[in-house]
Amino acid sequence: MTRSTRRTHRTLRAAGAGAALLLALTACSSASDTGSSASPQVSGTVTVFAAASLEESFTKLGTQFERQYPGTKVTFSFGGSDSLAASITGGAPADVFAAASPKTMKIVTDAGGTSGTPTTFVRNQLEIATLPGNPDKISSLKDLTGSGLKAVLCDESVPCGAAAKKALDASKLELTPVSYEQDVKGALTKVELKEADAAVVYKTDVRAAGDKVTGVDFPESADAINDYPIALLKDAPNAEAAQAFIDLVKSADGQKVLTEAGFLTP
Amino acid sequence: MTSPADTLKAGRTRTNGRPRMVPLPLLVPALLGLAFLLLPLIALLIRTPWSTLPDQLTSPGVWQALRLSLVCATAATALSLILGVPLAWLLARTEFPGRGLVRALVTLPLVLPPVVGGVALLLALGRNGVVGQWLDAWFGITLPFTTTGVVIAETFVAMPFLVISVEGTLRAADPRYEEAAMTLGASRFTAFRRVTLPLIAPGIAAGAVLAWARALGEFGATITFAGNFPDRTQTMPLAVYLALQNDPAAAIALSLVLLTVSITVLAALRDRWMTPS
């Protein structure tokens, strides 16, 4: 926490940083208050910006939230974490940000956009998505480097690509894919449509794709597990309800939905 | 206030002396429209990191992407011309049942989100596609993830612009010239080649320029159908998008290159082709 505060100090001008810090601290304490008491004030619309890989589980949690707090409505904007971070720092009216990597969350915290420190709520592991039934008998990352096999990776600039690169580097493998996709769903689609033989994606994406792909665990994925941070935003139009949603995500119920989708608990 | 007729009369009388007045109800929205179109570009220029620009532009990836963009957009325009001009002629000069429907279908790629267009292309021409699987089985040709794939994706998105532009020009052109040529013994194809084509050349040029510009900026269909691999399928818009994730300054620099090149080409072509001689 102190490091991130110091960083904020460096990047922002002194006055702005002071104000942001003050706001962050007050919001932090008030946030924990609302968290402990199941306050009846929770109402209205909560706007959640979440990484694309969270779409299935967060949609489910949104319905659960609306049932738990009648009169509330959760609206989601799912997308690449980087684009979401850019919209938030650009002033998009969001309450909660759930990112697919600490790096993308840092874009928002560095701009003083979060209220309090982001916390890791789930982790995601990489998996190889192959054609249904794994006809090419892929069992490790090394198998993807074989010639004649069309493999797809995410671009290094997006979290899934950075994680894949980390895993490849850790096992000293050189992999030339046919394409560096702009996001994880793009990579998965290429295998779903059978245009590529394999893609390195998240476990959760393989799970969500059902029987259109077969997932293959690979040992190197242990070297690249992605933390997913969630944070209440400083300019949240509906901070009470937003905090209640974050509490739900972190609760045992929420974690159950997320692990069912293939996420790992932090 | 003055009626339109008065304004017209007043305008006419003034032509000899002072320059003709532009009516305010036209001038104000026109200037607003111009400002609306230019403002984002001006903002881009203001926020360009000029000091680091030389560094950004000397990376070899930029020139690879730019070269690929220019080659593919030009190839896509050529393909659009070869297929699109006859298609426009068919729509404008022949009668057949369901022509209205065909015309609507031709413009479909305009309303289709490009990403959906890319998926549709995969379903048609991909390794497992309706037609693509035969291309693969018979000729060993797979189009996705290749430079040819980029040209095809860009043609799919850009050709309707050409067809619409050429068809509009054909409809405005007087068909009696062609009829006269045919009564003088020319075949319908000769009439098309020797009379119609020269007649509608400005429309074809305008359509080609539109198609080229659209192909140059094409992103969604390209990344979906052809993927993204440096020097093979990574065109400038793809490079810009991916740079934006990590390094917005680099993305702005890349956009600037693309803008400069396209403005230069478009301005040069407009002067040469599209001014009435």
How confident is residue B1, by pLDDT bands cut at 50, 70 and 90? very low
pLDDT at A157: 82
CB contact under 8 A, A180 and B126: no
Overall average pLDDT of the B26-55 stretch:
90
The alpha carbon of residue B47 is apart from the nearest alpha carbon of chain A, in Å, by 15
- Predicted pLDDT of residue A30: 42
**What confidence score (pLDDT) does residue A31 get?**
40
When pLDDT is cut at 50, 70 and 90, the band that residue B44 belongs to is: confident
- For A179, which of B119, B122, B229 is closest by C-beta distance? B229
Q: Does residue B268 carry a pLDDT above 70? A: yes
pLDDT of B52 reads 81
Res B272: pLDDT? 64
Question: Percent of chain B at pLDDT above 90?
Answer: 57
Residues B75 and B78: their CA atoms lie apart, in Å, by 5
Instruction: Find all residues with CB under 8 Å of B268, minimum gap 6, and list them.
Output: none
Intervals of CATH 3.40.190.10 along chain A:
2-122+227-258, 126-223
Kindly tell me if the per-residue pLDDT of B210 is higher than 60: yes
Number of other CB atoms surrounding residue A24 within 10 Å:
22
Coil, strand or helix: which one is B100? helix
Of the pLDDT bands very low, low, confident and very high (cuts 50, 70, 90), residue B212 is very high
Phi and psi angles of residue A209, each rounded to the nearest 5 degrees, phi first: -75, -10
**Per-domain boundaries in chain B:** 63-273
Q: Is ipTM beyond 0.85?
A: no
Q: B161: Cβ–Cβ under 8 A, 6 or more apart, which residues?
A: B110, B207, B210, B211, B214
- Assign domain A126-223 to a CATH class: alpha beta
- The residue ranges of chain A whose pLDDT is under 50 are 1-38
- 8 Å CB contact of B245 and A194: no
Q: Are strands A151-154 and A198-202 parallel, antiparallel or unpaired?
A: parallel
Interchain contact, A180 vs B242, CB within 8 Å: yes
Residue-wise pLDDT tens digits, B144-161: 999 999 999 999 999 999
**A81 carries a ligand binding annotation:** yes
Q: Report residue B210: phi and psi, to 5°.
A: -60, -50
Supply the pLDDT for residue A118: 93
Give the pTM. Answer: 0.77
Range scoring the smallest mean pLDDT among A46-55, B76-85, B238-247? B238-247
Are B227 and A82 within 8 A, CB to CB? no
CATH class of B63-273: mainly alpha
How many angstroms separate the CA atoms of A131 and B203, rounded? 48
Q: Which CATH architecture has domain A2-122+227-258?
A: 3-Layer(aba) Sandwich (3.40)
Lookup: tokens for B12:
């006419």
Residue A168 tokens read as 């490849």
Q: Does A257 count as an annotated binding residue?
A: no
Q: Which of A109-118, B7-16, B68-77, B187-196 has the highest mean pLDDT?
A: B68-77
Nearest CA in chain B to A159: B245
Q: Determine if residue A53 is labeled as part of a ligand binding site.
A: yes
